[in-house]
Amino acid sequence: MTITGRTRLCAVIGDPVEHSLSPCIHNAAFKHLGLDYVYVAFRVRYEELEWAIRGVRSLGIHGLNVTMPHKIGVIRYLDRLDPEAELLGAVNTILNDDGALVGYNTDGRGALKALLEVDGDLKAKKVLIIGAGGASRALSFTLAPRVRELTILNRTYGRAKTLAEDLKKKVEGTVRACRLSDETLKEELENSDVVINATPVGMRPNEDETPIPKELLRPGLTVFDLVYNPIETRLLKEAKAAGAKTIDGLTMLVYQGAASFELWTGVEAPVEVMMDAAKRELRRRGIIL
Ligand SMILES: NC(=O)c1ccc[n+]([C@@H]2O[C@H](COP(=O)([O-])OP(=O)(O)OC[C@H]3O[C@@H](n4cnc5c(N)ncnc54)[C@H](OP(=O)(O)O)[C@@H]3O)[C@@H](O)[C@H]2O)c1
Residues with CB under 6 A from ligand 1: 107, 131-136, 154-156, 159, 198-201, 203, 226-228, 249, 252-253, 256
Nearest CA to ligand 1 atom 26: 199
Nearest to 27 by CA among 59, 65, 56: 65
Closest ligand 1 atom, CA of 110? 3
User: How many whole angstroms from 136 Cα to the centroid of ligand 1?
Assistant: 8
Q: Where in the chain is the domain with CATH 3.40.50.10860?
A: 8-105+252-284
Report whether 196 contacts 142 (CB < 8 A): no
pLDDT, tens only, 53-95: 999 999 999 999 999 999 999 999 999 999 999 999 999 999 9
Catalytic positions: 71
Report whether 249 contacts 225 (CB < 8 A): yes
Q: Where in the chain is the domain with CATH 3.40.50.720?
A: 108-247
Query: Spelled out in words, what is the top-level CATH class assigned to the domain 108-247?
Result: alpha beta
Looking at every residue in the chain, the average pLDDT score rounds to 96
Q: What number is the average pLDDT over the span 206-225?
A: 97
CATH code of the domain made up of 8-105+252-284: 3.40.50.10860
pLDDT, tens only, 156-215: 999 999 999 999 999 999 999 999 999 999 999 999 999 999 999 999 999 999 999 999
Closest ligand 1 atom, CA of 199? 24
Residues 6+ apart with CB under 8 A from 235: 197, 202, 210, 211, 212, 223, 225, 227
Percent of the chain with pLDDT over 90: 95
Pocket probe mutation, ligand 1, options 22, 155, 185, max atoms within 8 Å of Cβ: 155
